[in-house]
Amino acid sequence: MVNDLVLKLCLSACVVDSRKPPIEDIDWGLEEQVIVLIAQDINKTRSQLEKLGVPMQQPVNTSEPEKIYAADPLGNILLFSSQVAFPGLLHESSSNNSREGSPKLLSDEEYKKRKESGEQHPPPRKIAILTSGGDAPGMNACVRAVVRYGISKGCAMYAVYEGYQGLVDGGDQIRLMDWKSVRGWMRVGGTSIGTARCKPFQTSEGRLKAAENLIKKGIDSIIVCGGDGSLTGADVFRSEWPSHVENLKKNDRITTEQAEQHKHLTIVGLVGSIDNDMSSTDITIGAVTSLHRICEAVDSINTTAMSHSRAFVVEVMGRHCGWLALMAGIATGADFVFIPERPPGEEDWRPRLCDVAQRHRQMGKRKTIIIVAEGALDTSLKPIKSEEIKDILTERLGIDTRVTTLGHVQRGGSPCASDRILATIQSVEAVRAVLTSRPDTPSPLIISRNNHITSTSLMKAVELTHEVAKAIGEKNFARAMELRDPQFAEEFDAFTASTILDDFSENFVLPEHQRIRVGILHIGAPSGGMNAATRTAVRYAHNRGHHPVLIYNGFSGLVRGTIEDATWIGVDGWTSHGGSELGTNRDVPGINVDMGMVAYQIQKNKIQGLMIVGGFEAFSSLVELEKARQHYPSLCIPVCHLPATISNNVPGTDYSLGTDTSLNAIVTACDAIGQSARSSRRRVFVVEVQGGKSGYLAVEGGIACSANTVYIPEEGISLSRLQSDVKHLLALYFDDDPDMSEGRIILRTEDVSETYTTDVISNILKDEGHQLFDSRTAILGHIQQGDTPSPLDRIRATRSAIKCIEFMELHSSEALDKAYLSKQGTPIELTQCEDSVAVVGIWGADVKCNSVKSLLPVTDMKNRKPRSAWWFEHRPLVDLLAGRGLFTPEAQQLIAEQRNAGDEDERS
C-alpha cells in the first residue's frame, strides 16, 4: 500500500476495555489517542482503504498536509498523513512557498549540482525598505524582519536611509543590507535608518531623480513604513513611475534595457504611527508602545497627585485621533478624557467637568486625573486646551491643579512586546506581498484585522483616514467614531459606563426588579489584569443598579463565607494593581471543594450571578458547576468565566488577561540577559519560561526577543532536534567575527520535556559547542506574572468585565421579569439554559460569549489547553529569522553568487 511507514503508537491501557466504536458524525481529528501512519502516496492509501470498505474522514482544510482518518475494527482511529506532524527544522510548508511564488535558496545537494554544471544564478529580486514620517517604536523591528525574510527568499535587500530624502539623494543613502546589518535592531526604538522631511520629493523633478537612483540600483520594489502622508507619497510615486521611466530613457539617463527591466514599480505599505490613526486596521506599529509610555507617566503622577490631593491635566499626542487619550483613560482609571472624535455632549462642557470631579471627590477620591488629546475639540470645534481645564478646576473647585505635557517621550524607548511581534509578522507579510504583486493590482497596505494579518488597498485606507478629519470638521462625530477601529466606540462607551460622569438616566439604570447580587471571585495563578477586571465589574454593576459582592480566596473562601460588599470607591486605583487583591488558589468546586457548601453559600448570600476570573482552573470550575445544576437549584444562575492566565491556554478566547503583561516581563528579562550574553561574546542562554503545556509564551516571546529557537510542548524535544540546533549554532559562531561574536537566546517552555530539562539542554550545548561557545541557564519563574499590568491587559479587562455583567443581565432578566409580573418573590433558579454558563473571551476585535458545552469538544482537558492554537502559525518565523539553514558554507556561497549577479547587473 505504501513504500515506507513510520509507526507511532499512542496507547492508554485504561481506555482499551471501554473503547467504543467511533461516531462518524464527530470529527475524528479531535480524538486524544490516534495511531499515526506516514504514507508517501496518500492517494494510493485512500484507494486501498476504499477497496477494504474502511470508514474514513478527510479534513476540509486543504492548507494542511494531506490527511486521512480511518477506523480499524477495534475502534482505534488511524491517521494517514503525507507529512510528519512537526517538520523538523520548521521550514515553511511547500504550500506557503508555492502560494508566494518566491525564489528559495537551493539545498546543499542542488547547489553542488549547479556548481558542477557551471550554471549561473539569475540576478535576485531587489527590494528596498524605507521609513518615513514621524518615528514609531517597532520600525527597526520592521526593517529587521523585511531584510532577513527577504534574504531567506533569495532577494537582495536594500535600506533607504533618511526616508524619501535618501531616495532623492541616492548614492550611499541606498545601501545593500546583509543578515548581520540588522543584528540587535529588534530592541532599539525609533528607526536606525532614519526619517526626514523631504520637500524635493514633493516635486516631480525630485521624484524623477528618485526613480533614476532606484533604477540604477536595479530596485523595482519598495516597502514603506510610515503614516498616511508617507504612504500617499509612495502611491503617487508608483502612479507616475511609467512616465518617469520614459522621461529618463528619452534623456539618456538610463538605457533602453534598464527601462525595459523596470517598467513597473511595486509599493507595499506598513503603518508606523503612534496615534493609531489609520482606518481599516485595528492597530498600527508603535501605538501600543506609546501607550506604555503614557501609562507609565500617569501611574507615576497618580502617587504624587494622591499625596497632595491634587488634580493633574495630562496632555497626550493625537492631533486628529483620540486613541491614545481614550486608551490611557481606560488603562489608568482617569476621571475624564477629551478626544477629537467625541466632544463632551454639552456645548458648555465646563459645568459637567466640575460636577464629575466634585462628585468623585465627595466619594472619597484624593486625586483627579484628566487626559486630553492635543487635538481635543468641543461641539463647536473650538480647541479644548490643558491650561483652560487647569484654570477651571482651580477657580471653580479650588483644586490645586497642574499640567503635564508628555510630548516626545511618547515616541521614545524600546518597543513593547506587542509592537515587536506586530512589526515582525506584518513585515514578513509585506515581503510576501511584494513577491506576489502584479502591475495591475492596487498598492497593498498590510493591516491587522480581527487578530489576523491581511492586506487592503493602500489608497482606500488613506482616503478613509482623511474622512475622519472631514467628518469632525462637519461635526459628524458619529461618522468619525465609525471610521476608527471596530472596538473604538465600544471602548469609549466602556470608559463612560465604568466611570461616574453624571447622574445616569433611567434608561441606563435597570428597573429595581432586574437588579441582582453579583459575586466576583478569582481562581488559579495570579495574572495581570485581574484587579482591573474586578474594578470595572464593580463600578459598572453599581452604575447599572446591581449589588456586587467580593468573594475572597476563591471557592475555598466562598465556602467559608469570606464575602463583603463591593463599594465604588473601594476598588479605586485597582486598574494598575498587579496580582489578585481578592486572593486566589487552585481549588475547584466538586473536586477540591465540596459542591454542596458552594451551593449553600450562594443561596445564603443570595448571589444571583457569578463572575469567575482565572485560568484553566476557572474553566474546570465552570464545567463542574454546570454538571451540578441538576442537583442544586441555587447553581441555576448565570455563571461566566473571564479568562486570566499568562499561559493563554483557556478555550474560547484569543487572549487571556495577563498574557501581554507576561510577554513584556519576558522581553524585559531577555533584553537584559541578551546584553549579558553579548558582553560575554560567545554565550548561549537557555531561558525557561512558564506556560505549562502551552507554548504561547515561548513562541510569541521568541519572536519579540529575537530568540535563536524555542522548545514548546506542541513539538516536544528529541535528540535529533538538539543535534540540529547545535549544528546551527556552530554555523552561526563560525560565521561570526571572532572579536564581535554575538550572544544568543533559546526559550524553553517549562513542561516541554521531563528528560531534556533546561540544565540538560544547556549542558548538551556547552559540550557540543567544543569551546566555540558557552552556555548558561536562566529560569524566569514568577516574575513572568508581572508587577504592574500592561495597558493592553487593563483595556482587555475593562471590555471583558462589562461584557460579563451584560451576560448576567441577559440570562437573569427573563425569570426576574416573569416573577415581577406575576407578583411572586425573587426565584432561586434564574436560568437552566446551557448558554448561561459560558466563557467571555476576546475573539478578534470582539468580546464574545461561548457556552462551556460548546467549548468542551475543542478542549484538551488532559493537557489543559485548546486543541488548536491560532498563534502556532507564527512558530516557523522564530527559526527563519534566526537564519536557520542560511549559514552553511553552501548557503553562504549561494548568497554570495546572488549578490555578485546583482552587482554585475547593476554595473551593466
Question: Catalytic residues, which ones?
Answer: 275
Q: How many CA atoms within 13 Å lie on the side-chain side of 843?
A: 10
CA 430 from centre of chain = 18
Q: Is 745 helix (H, G, I), strand (E, B) or coil?
A: strand
| Structural contact between residues 89 and 885, judged by C-beta atoms closer than 8 angstroms | yes
Burial-class residue 303 by CB neighbours within 10 Å (0-12, 13-18, 19+). Answer: exposed
Which strands form 744-749's sheet, in the order they lie side by side? 709-711, 744-749, 683-689, 774-779
| Structural contact between residues 330 and 795, judged by C-beta atoms closer than 8 angstroms | yes
Helix spans in 373-452 (H): 386-397, 417-436
Query: CA of 280: how far to CAs of 132, 168, 271, 534, in Å?
Result: 20, 30, 11, 32
Burial-class residue 554 by CB neighbours within 10 Å (0-12, 13-18, 19+). Answer: buried
Helix axes 108-117, 889-907, angle to 10 degrees: 50
Type of residue found at 890: E
| Structural contact between residues 81 and 860, judged by C-beta atoms closer than 8 angstroms | no
Number of CB atoms found within 10 A of residue 470's CB? 13
Using alpha carbons only, what angle is made at residue 830 by residues 824 and 831, rounded to the nearest 5 degrees? 140
Grid coordinates representing 820?
415581577
Which residue carries 535558496 as its cell? 105
Q: How far apart are CA 816 and CA 40, in angstroms?
A: 62
DSSP count for the chain of H helices, then E strands:
29, 29
| Structural contact between residues 816 and 693, judged by C-beta atoms closer than 8 angstroms | no
Grid coordinates representing 457?
488597498
Q: How far apart are CA 390 and CA 402, in angstroms?
A: 7
Q: Are strands 547-551 and 517-523 parallel, antiparallel or unpaired?
A: parallel
Grid coordinates representing 328?
490611557
Which residue carries 524582519 as its cell? 145
Number of CB atoms found within 10 A of residue 857's CB? 11
Query: CA of 35: how far to CAs of 8, 10, 88, 866, in Å?
Result: 6, 6, 20, 21
Q: How far apart are CA 157 and CA 128, in angstroms?
A: 6
Return the CA Rg of the chain.
30
| Structural contact between residues 198 and 165, judged by C-beta atoms closer than 8 angstroms | yes
Grid coordinates representing 498?
465604568
| Structural contact between residues 231 and 224, judged by C-beta atoms closer than 8 angstroms | yes
Q: Are strands 609-614 and 774-779 parallel, antiparallel or unpaired?
A: unpaired
What is the 8-class DSSP label of residue 202? G
| Structural contact between residues 424 and 448, judged by C-beta atoms closer than 8 angstroms | no
Burial-class residue 186 by CB neighbours within 10 Å (0-12, 13-18, 19+). Answer: buried
Type of residue found at 677: A
Q: Pseudo-torsion of CA 582, 583, 589, 594, nearest 10°? A: -100
Helix axes 139-152, 417-436, angle to 10 degrees: 40
**What are the residues facing 837 on neighbouring strands?**
639
Q: How far apart are CA 500 and CA 352, in angstroms?
A: 11
